[in-house]
Structure 1
Amino acid sequence: MIALLLALGSSLAYGCADFLGGLGARRAHVLRTVMIAAPASLVVELLLWPFLGASFGAAALGWGAASGVASAAAFALLYKTLAIGPMNVLSPVTALMSAMLPVGVGLLQGERLGVAGLVGLPLALAAVVLVSAGHGSGAVRPSRTALRLALGAGAAIALQLVFLHQAPSDSGVAPLIIGRAVSSAVTLGAAGLMFRRLGSERPSCAMSVSAGVLDSVANLLFLLAARSGDLAVVAVITALYPAGTVLLARSVLAERIHRGQIVGLGTAVAAVSLLALT
């Protein structure tokens, strides 16, 4: 139950972070947004160090660095995807990709689920699909470029989560600190190389910082959830984060929520209830 609650918290934080990051990236080049968001995440994780501890062993350094490279790619691809829009379709596509790989890794590593889990897990995956289902008349269809970016973002997110899960359970927040330091360095390096192509438009600093802080909170909650529960279950619950993005997009941007998405939200509730029994 603790792992489930942590995963739900991670899902909510990811959904809010993605909405703010995607919205901020509409105003300026995506790298300008990530240049602010990634260091803001690092600051949060450094502030958590005295409270949660950190052990910088070789395994924590290696897996943390790998997660950082994946995180940098995920940041840029995801925010660019959501900036193109529509958020209420592309975010769930990304989430489905981000769930499938960790679920597969967890099952291959020998995780076993009870009857409730065997029903709840595919139901949760179906919920992610349903949240993205159906285009009503007048709805905006995503471009092929946007769909490719969404799939790439999902794969990068999945790799980040898998790498974090592989880090030693007694390493505290070390993998998060190393990962965010690496992702910040990669992002700033890329921005330096592409400086002439970034344009003069500046993103909302408040949105970018908030996205980075929320992303850091989401990573922490996922790491704690994965250490106390099965990766397959934690990953698919975390992947329900589009629900938050979709609802925010509906409230703030007036993007339509279709009947299939409403069914998907209800399915997600049922899936979470079943997984709580595992």
Structure 2
Amino acid sequence: MLALLLALGSSFAYGCADFLGGLGARKAHVLRTVMIAAPAGLTVELLLWPLLGASYDAGAVGWGAASGVASAAAFALLYRTLAIGPMNVLSPVTAMVSAALPVAAGLLQGERLGAAGLVGLPLALVAVVLVSAGHGAGSVRPSRTALLLASGAGGAIALQLILLHQAPSDSGVAPLIAGRAVSSALTLTAAVLLRRRLGPERPAYAVSGAAGVLDSLANLLFLLAARSGDLAVVAVITALYPAGTVLLARGVLAERVHRGQIVGLGTAAVAVGLLAVT
């Protein structure tokens, strides 16, 4: 139950971070948003170091750094996917891949589910797709390149979670700090190289910084959940993060929640209930 609650917290934090990051990207180029969010996230993790400890052995640093590379790759692929579109079709592809691969990894590592879990897990995967799908999903056929990019983005997100899960359980926040340092360095380097394309707009500092803080908290909660529960269950619950984004968009921006997303939210609730009793 603790792992499930931590995964739900991680999912909601990821959803909030995405929502705020999206708001920031409306005011300035997305890389300008990341230039604020990345240091803010790293600062939070460094502040957590004295509280949660950190053991910088080879395993913690290596797996953490590798997760940082995967995180940077996910960002680049998502950005390119957004440029190609249509995101209402491609977002469910990314979400499904990012959820399914960690589930497969957990099961291949020998994790076993009870009867309720065997029903709840596929329901959760269905919920991920429904919640992340926008209005008119399926009305526009994406190109093969767009599908490959969306799948690659989902794979990179999944790889980040899997790599974090591989870090030693007694390493504290060291994998998070190593991963954030690497991903920040890569994205900031990209921002410098592409500075002429970023435009003159200033980033929304408070919103972008809050997005980075929430993303770091989401990573922390995922890591704690994965250390206390099964990767298959934790990953699929975490992948429900679009639900938080949808609800915030509804409450803050008065955006319409479409029928399929409502069904997805209901399906997610049932899935979480089933997984809670496994």
**TM-score (ref. length: structure 1):** 0.90
SS in 1 for 2:26: coil
Q: Tell me the equivalent position of 2:60.
A: 60
Contact in 2 for aligned 1:14/1:214 (Cα 8 Å): yes
Q: Structure 2, unaligned stretches of length 5 or more?
A: none
Aligned to 2:200, what secondary structure does the other structure show? coil
When residues 33 and 146 of structure 1 are mapped into structure 2, their CA distance, relative to the original with a 3 A threshold, is farther
Q: Comparing 122-131 with 232-241, which one deviates more in the overlay?
A: 122-131
Distance apart, 1:88 and its partner CA: 7.0
Give the direction of change, closer, same or farther, for the CA distance of 1:133–1:47 in structure 2 (3 Å limit).
closer
CA contact (8 A) 1:54 1:173 kept: yes
Whether the 8 Å CA contact 2:89–2:142 is kept in 1: the answer is no
CA–CA distance in structure 1, aligned partners of residues 21 and 122 of structure 2: 29
Q: Is the 8 A contact 2:93 2:150 kept in 1?
A: yes
Distance 1:147 1:257 in 2: 25
Deviation string 1:81-118 (CA, Å, 9 cap, x unpaired) is 67998877665443222111111111111111111111
What is the rounded CA distance, in whole Å, between the counterparts of 2:244 and 2:123 in structure 1? 18
Deviations 1:125-169 (A, max 9, x none): 0111222457459x9969658766543332221111011000010
> Structure 1 residues 147, 201: closer, same or farther in 2, change over 3 A?
farther
Q: Is the 8 A contact 1:82 1:91 kept in 2?
A: no
Of 235-244 and 255-264, deviating more is: 255-264
Give the RMSD, CA atoms, in angstroms: 2.5
Cα gap change, 1:171 to 1:111, in 2 (>3 Å): same
Aligned-partner Cα distance in 1 for 2:18–2:91: 8
Q: 1:154-173, aligned counterparts within 5 Å?
A: 154-173=154-173
Distance in 1 between the 2:37 and 2:163 partners? 21
Contact preservation (8 Å) 2:78, 2:149: yes
How many Å separate the matches in 2 of 1:134 and 1:16? Answer: 17
| Cα gap change, 1:198 to 1:162, in 2 (>3 Å) | same
Q: Does the 8 A contact of 1:136 with 1:258 survive in 2?
A: no
The DSSP-based 3-state class of the residue aligned with 1:220 is helix
Matched letter for residue 65 of structure 1: A
- Which residue of structure 2 lines up, in the alignment, with residue 269 of structure 1? 269
The verdict on how the C-alpha distance between 1:258 and 1:134 changes in structure 2, with shifts beyond 3 A counting, is same
Percent of aligned pairs with the same residue?
Answer: 82
Aligned residues: 277
Amino acid at match of 2:27: R
SS state at 2:168 partner? coil
Name the CA distance, whole Å, in 2 between partners of 1:147 and 1:198. 26
User: Structure 2: how far apart are the matches of 1:132 and 1:178?
Assistant: 30
Note if contact 1:103-1:231 (Cα within 8 Å) is conserved in structure 2: yes
SS at the partner of 2:178?
Answer: helix
The corresponding residue for 1:124 is 124
TM-fit CA distance, 1:24:
1.1
1:71: Cα distance to partner? 1.4
Letter in 2 for 1:231: L
Q: For the residues of structure 2 that align with 1:276 and 1:267, how far apart are their CA atoms?
A: 14
1:229 corresponding residue in structure 2: 229
1:46 aligns with 2:46: yes
Instruction: State the Cα distance separating 1:75 from its structure 2 match.
Output: 3.5
- Measure how far apart 1:247 and its partner are: 1.5
Shift of residue 73 of structure 1?
Answer: 2.5
Q: 1:227 to 1:32 in 2, by over 3 A?
A: same
| Other structure's SS at 2:257 match | coil
Does the C-alpha gap of structure 1 residues 143 and 37 become closer, same or farther in structure 2, counting only changes over 3 Å?
farther
> In the superposition, relative to structure 1, how do residues 35 and 198 fare at CA in structure 2: closer, same or farther (>3 Å)?
same
Partner of 1:37: 37
Q: Distance in 1 between matches of 2:147 and 2:247?
A: 20
Preserved CA contact (<8 Å) 1:87 1:246: no
Matched position secondary structure for 1:113 = coil
| Contact preservation (8 Å) 2:3, 2:234 | yes
Distance 1:12 1:109 in 2: 27
Contact 1:68 1:180 in 2 (8 A): yes
Contact 1:22–1:78 (CA under 8 A) maintained in structure 2: no
Deviation at 1:23, TM superposition (A): 1.9
Q: Could you tell me which residue of structure 1 aligns to residue 21 of structure 2?
A: 21
Instruction: Name the structure 2 match of 1:193.
Output: 193
